[in-house]
């Protein structure tokens, strides 16, 4: 006798290997590209790092970061399941749809972290400590009683701090013994906040129901469209101010990159304002050709300017002192 529709549906909700692999979010490993600016900055600022070992360290390091990130994604999926059931799309995710065994899910969370640390130790101990910091921030973001993802503004700040942590990981992958510039790390953090706050704005708009939005994400009790957009502007201003402090101190030539940075920010902002905005799913942003063109061009320009000296710029920006 053929299975009834309800029976087939129940079978589909059984825990499966596919469900456990899905909550690793391997498609989110693209975020590891945020490690690359740290590597490039270290190569530009510390000549001792310019050797071929950087390539092997980068491959090992990116894999290790991916494992730790998947550990964080696993616990995120498990602890978000109740709220995801209130979201029109996320209710179909593996945990809320019953395709993950919770005991095995928790074991998967720990094992991925430990494996990531073991692989990271092949690079260096400072790099391994950075991986531990990335995992700890994942715990703060996801696990009660802290669970910063439910607190307005702290949700964006605590999630986006993974950006400077990834940059620092790249710095250590390159093997630099210098201290990474604080202004660069902070500006990278604020740029991350800009992108994350706009993602929150897009999520809030897509739900289009304040009460349901609050059930899905507690921080939405306080948020509204105006507050979220205001925070986007604040983060963008802070990012530019801090990046300006970095370039004035270390590499003035980077001032020429500002039009390209503005291009990236403008393209992303435009996407964030769309109905059913694609910024809600960052893992699919590679499909946005204009954004990808802006990001690629901006990355190449910044990468080049880090290694170029233009004395005329220093003359133009030199302060004149009246006697």
φ and ψ at residue 242, rounded to 5 degrees: -70, -35
Residue 90's CATH number: 1.10.357.140
Query: What does the pLDDT read at residue 323?
Result: 43
> How many structural domains comprise the chain?
2
- What is the distance between the alpha carbons of residues 27 and 93, in angstroms, rounded to a whole number? 14
**Same structural domain, 26 and 155:** yes
> From CA 292, how far away is CA 290, in angstroms rounded?
5
Is residue 180 within 8 A of residue 41, CB to CB? The reply is: yes
Do 162 and 22 reside in the same domain of the chain? Answer: yes
pLDDT at 215: 80
In this structure, what token pair is assigned to residue 92? 């179909």
Considering the domain architecture, whether residues 31 and 173 belong to the same structural domain is answered as yes
Tell me, rounded to whole angstroms, the distance of Cα 295 from its chain centroid. Answer: 15
What pTM, to 2 d.p., does this model score?
Answer: 0.88
Respond yes or no on whether the N-terminal peptide bond of residue 246 is cis (omega within 30° of 0).
Answer: no
Supply φ then ψ for residue 171, to 5 degrees.
Answer: -60, -45
Q: What is the pLDDT of residue 153?
A: 95
Identify whether residues 171 and 137 lie together within a single domain: yes
* Residue 279 CB partners (closer than 8 Å, separation 6+): 195, 198, 199, 202, 268, 271, 272, 285
Residues 154, 243 within the same domain? no
Per residue of the chain (323 residues), give pLDDT as tens: 444 444 444 445 788 899 999 999 998 898 888 999 999 999 999 998 999 889 999 999 999 999 999 999 999 999 988 877 766 677 788 999 889 999 999 999 999 999 999 999 999 999 999 999 999 999 999 999 999 999 999 999 999 999 999 999 999 999 998 999 999 999 999 999 999 999 999 999 998 888 888 888 889 999 999 999 999 999 999 999 999 999 999 999 999 999 999 999 999 999 999 999 999 988 889 999 999 999 999 999 999 999 999 998 888 887 544 44
**Last-in-domain residue among 156, 177, 198:** 177
Are 205 and 277 a contacting pair, CB within 8 Å? yes
Confidence (pLDDT) at 73: 96
In a domain, 128, yes or no: yes
Flag whether 268 is in a domain: yes
For residue 302, give its domain range. Answer: 181-309
C-alpha neighbours within 13 Å on the C-beta side of residue 184: 23
- Nearest CA among 231, 242, 150, 142 for reference residue 195: 231
- For residues 305 and 250, state if they share a domain: yes
Are residues 168 and 190 located together in one domain of the fold?
no
Q: Is 322 a domain residue?
A: no
């Amino acid at each position: 006798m053929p299975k009834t529709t309800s029976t087939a549906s129940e079978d589909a909700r059984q825990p499966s290997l596919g469900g456990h692999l899905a909550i690793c979010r391997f498609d989110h490993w693209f975020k590891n590209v945020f490690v690359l600016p740290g590597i490039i900055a270290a190569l530009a600022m510390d000549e001792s790092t310019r050797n071929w070992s950087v390539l092997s360290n980068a491959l090992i390091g990116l894999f290790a970061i991916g494992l730790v990130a998947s550990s964080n994604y696993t616990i995120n999926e498990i602890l978000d399941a109740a709220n995801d059931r209130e979201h029109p799309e996320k209710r179909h995710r593996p945990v809320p749809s019953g395709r993950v065994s919770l005991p095995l899910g928790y074991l998967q969370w720990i094992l991925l972290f430990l494996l990531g640390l073991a692989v990271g130790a092949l690079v260096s101990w400072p790099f391994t400590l950075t991986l531990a910091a990335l995992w700890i921030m994942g715990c703060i973001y996801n696990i009660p009683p802290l669970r910063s993802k439910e607190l307005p503004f702290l949700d964006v700040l605590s999630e986006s701090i993974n950006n400077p942590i990834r940059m620092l990981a790249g710095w250590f992958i390159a093997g630099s013994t210098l201290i990474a510039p604080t202004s660069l790390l902070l500006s990278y953090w604020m740029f991350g906040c800009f992108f994350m706050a706009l993602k929150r704005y897009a999520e809030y708009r897509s739900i289009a129901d304040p009460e349901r939005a609050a059930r899905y994400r507690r921080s939405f009790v306080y948020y509204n469209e105006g507050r979220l957009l205001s925070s986007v502007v604040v983060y963008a201003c802070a990012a530019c101010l801090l990046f300006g402090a970095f370039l004035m101190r270390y590499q003035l030539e980077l001032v020429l990159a500002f039009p390209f940075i503005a291009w990236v920010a403008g393209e992303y902002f435009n996407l964030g304002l769309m109905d059913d905005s694609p910024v809600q799913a960052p893992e699919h942003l590679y499909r946005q050709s204009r954004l990808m063109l802006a990001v690629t061009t901006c990355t190449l320009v910044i990468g080049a300017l880090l290694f170029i000296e233009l004395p005329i710029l220093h003359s133009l920006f030199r302060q004149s002192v009246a006697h």
